[in-house]
């Protein structure tokens, strides 16, 4: 193997030989001096080149070797021998990643000084609407560092739509609501926003109630942002017993939201909306954001059952709403529904074009956002056919990871690759549809994902020290 020592040794041998020749051949001393100068220059350049290659290899993000386990229980290797724990990492395919370097520095500063909030987003389909493994990650991130509790972020009232609502919060109302899904291409007057869904109600008096539910973390908030119809919003906000705490209710008619500020933190609310005119009006809600001034991480899970990349690309207010809380980290876990079709029908170039468009939307919201691309889990098409499209999805993801200098979390690979979902189902980790996980499987997925995140932090610490 070539290295600097070998080049130094070779240089010394060349130099000694040249000097001896010079002494023995004074007649040709001028020519030999030129040769000697060339040998000297060539050797120095070689030494510099090797040093640069060694430094590049040493400092490269893509050559870093992670341990198989960080905080995850290593006995899981015995319990689930089919899981490829050695592949559980955020794999970089470039030597550097400026956006991920910035994320690490911001995290490091947040932990040490408690002076900032970082907005994390994670987008997908039904895996994310359920918000099981993502809430596990949210909980760990909001309880790991003392004094950095963060905030809950964006929520959608799926309870009002009579569909599965995440178990960690609940909305209730005595009114009747209509549910619009971007997945079904339901036509709604209001363009879909960041969360890809809308609920609407035509009543002139509407009650809306929020509570944290089965969760360890219950970040309090002193500001509520309700995303609704644009233009005139003919409703007064009444927070009943909490009304005395309301300092201001400010309407942004252009972007379609109302900010309600409170003088004290609250952890639940009861709201009555009363229409102040007699004109017919349909309230349309596309999301609710719970905010505070505390340092820490806001972790928003974006997911609608059946969603694919094109689903979110059709949400006219997606980018606009994302810019209101600029992303510092954005994880893409979209691809299962895009590739859920016969092999011959899947078009990798179409998937690549859609994913790149979504990446560009995020980077327009914040050009310095750290993007994570995750490979979908192994699955079966219609429960019986191996879905070989996932490997093609992975190829596209790696290609874009190189272009945008971002890492990949290869869930497909660490599961065991093609057909592994059947093994996971037999182990009680996946449902019989061979697409979705069981609760045990989702919690394990969250633990594995979080361990990969911690390994990345170790990697960046080592990378920082070397630099």
Residues 203 and 286 in one domain: yes
Axis-axis angle for helices 439-466, 133-143 (nearest 10): 40
Q: Among the three residues 293, 314, 334, which one is the final residue of a domain in this structure?
A: 293
Q: How many Cα atoms are found within 13 Å in the side-chain-facing hemisphere of 447?
A: 14
Alpha-carbon torsion, ordered 337, 340, 345, 346, to 10 deg: 60
Is the domain of 254 the same as that of 207?
A: yes
Mean pLDDT, residues 30-56 taken together = 46
Both tokens of 439, joined, read 């609760």
Span 244-259, pLDDT tens digits: 999 999 999 999 999 9
98, 239: one domain: no
Domain boundary among 293, 322, 337: 293
Average confidence (pLDDT) over 264-280: 96
pLDDT band with cut points at 50, 70 and 90 for residue 187: confident
Where does 60-175 have alpha helices with state H? 76-79, 98-113, 126-130, 133-143
Residues 83 and 45 in one domain: no
Same domain, 55 and 79: no
User: Is 390 in contact with 338 (CB distance < 8 Å)?
Assistant: no
Q: Report the pLDDT value the prediction gives residue 466, as an integer from 0 to 100.
A: 61
Cβ-count burial 195-233 (b if 16+ within 10 Å, e if not): bbbbbbbebbebebbbebeeeebebbbbbbbbbbbbeeb
Q: Judging by DSSP bridges, how do beta strands 117-124 and 178-181 pair with one another? A: unpaired
- Based on the structure, what is the number of domains in the chain? 3
Same domain? 159 vs 235: yes
- Where helices occur in 114-183 by DSSP H, the ranges are 126-130, 133-143
Q: Which of 44-58, 136-150, 313-327, 400-414 has the lowest mean pLDDT?
A: 44-58
Domain span at residue 202? 151-293
Determine the Cα–Cα distance for residues 175 and 307; give it in Å rounded to an integer. Answer: 27
CB 368 within 8 A of CB 329: no
Residues 305 and 390 in one domain: yes
Residues 355 and 289 in one domain: no
The reported pTM is 0.87
The CA–CA distances, whole Å, from 239 to 64, 244, 284 equal 53, 8, 19
CA 185 to each of CA 312, 315, 346, 351: distance values in angstroms, whole numbers, following the listed order: 11, 10, 21, 19
Tell whether 279 and 323 lie within a shared domain.
no
Domain CATH number, residue 109: 3.40.50.1110
- Which of 13, 42, 59 is the C-terminal boundary of a domain? 59
Shared-domain flag, residues 119 and 181:
no
Q: Tell me how far the alpha carbon of residue 344 is from its chain's centroid.
A: 30
The verdict on 55 and 72 lying in the same domain is no
* Residue 26 scores a pLDDT above 70: no
Residue 294: the pLDDT is 97
Least confident of 5-14, 30-39, 266-275, 404-413: 5-14
Q: For 321-340, what is each residue's pLDDT tens digit?
A: 999 999 999 999 999 999 99
For residues 11 and 38, give the distance between their C-alpha atoms in angstroms, rounded to a whole number: 11
Do 43 and 116 lie in a common domain? no
What's the pLDDT score for residue 7? Answer: 37
For residue 281, count other CB atoms closer than 10 A to its CB: 17
**First and final C-alpha spacing in the chain:** 24
CATH assignment of the domain containing 205: 2.60.120.1360
For residue 270, what are its two tokens? 């009861």
Q: What's the average model confidence in pLDDT over 221-236?
A: 97
pLDDT, mean of residues 211-235? 97
């Amino acid at each position: 193997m070539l290295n600097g020592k070998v080049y130094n040794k070779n240089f010394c041998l060349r130099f000694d030989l040249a000097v001896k020749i010079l002494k023995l051949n004074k007649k040709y001393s001028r020519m030999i001096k030129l040769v000697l100068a060339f040998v000297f220059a060539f050797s120095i350049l070689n030494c510099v080149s090797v040093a640069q290659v060694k430094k590049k290899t040493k400092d490269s993000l893509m050559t870093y070797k992670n341990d198989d386990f960080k905080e995850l229980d290593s006995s899981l290797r015995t319990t689930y021998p089919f899981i490829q724990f050695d592949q559980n990492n955020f794999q970089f395919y470039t030597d550097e990643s400026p956006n991920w370097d910035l994320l690490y520095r911001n995290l490091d500063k947040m932990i040490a000084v408690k002076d900032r909030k970082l907005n994390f987003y994670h987008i997908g389909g039904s895996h994310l609407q359920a918000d099981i493994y993502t809430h596990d990650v949210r909980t760990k991130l909001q309880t790991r560092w003392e004094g950095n509790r963060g905030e809950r972020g964006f929520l959608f009232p799926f309870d009002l739509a009579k569909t599965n609502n995440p178990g960690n919060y609940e909305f209730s109302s005595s009114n009747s609501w209509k549910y619009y899904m971007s997945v079904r291409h339901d036509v709604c007057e209001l363009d879909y926003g960041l969360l890809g869904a809308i609920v609407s109600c035509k009543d002139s008096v509407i009650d809306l109630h929020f509570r944290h539910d089965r969760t360890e973390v219950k970040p309090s908030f002193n500001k509520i942002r309700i995303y609704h119809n644009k233009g005139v919003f003919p409703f007064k906000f009444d927070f009943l017993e909490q009304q005395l705490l309301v300092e201001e209710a400010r309407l942004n008619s252009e972007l379609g939201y109302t900010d309600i500020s409170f003088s004290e933190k609250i952890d639940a609310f009861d709201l009555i909306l009363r229409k102040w005119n007699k004109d017919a009006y349909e309230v349309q809600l596309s999301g609710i954001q719970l905010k505070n001034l505390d340092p820490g991480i806001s972790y928003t899970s974006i997911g609608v059952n059946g969603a694919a990349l094109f689903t979110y690309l059709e949400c006219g207010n997606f980018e606009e709403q994302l810019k209101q809380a600029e992303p510092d980290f954005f994880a893409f876990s979209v691809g299962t529904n895009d590739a859920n079709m016969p092999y011959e029908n899947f078009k990798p170039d179409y998937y690549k074009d859609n994913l790149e468009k979504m990446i560009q939307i995020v980077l327009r919201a914040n050009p310095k956002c750290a993007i994570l691309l995750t490979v979908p889990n192994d699955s079966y098409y219609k429960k019986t056919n191996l879905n070989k499209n996932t490997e093609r999805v992975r190829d596209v993801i790696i290609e874009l990871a190189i272009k945008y200098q971002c890492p990949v979390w290869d869930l497909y690979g660490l599961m065991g690759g093609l057909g592994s979902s059947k093994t996971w189902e037999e182990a009680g980790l996946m449902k019989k549809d061979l697409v979705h996980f069981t609760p045990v499987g989702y919690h394990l997925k969250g633990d594995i994902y979080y361990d990969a995140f911690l390994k990345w932090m170790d990697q960046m610490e080592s990378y920082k020290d070397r630099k």
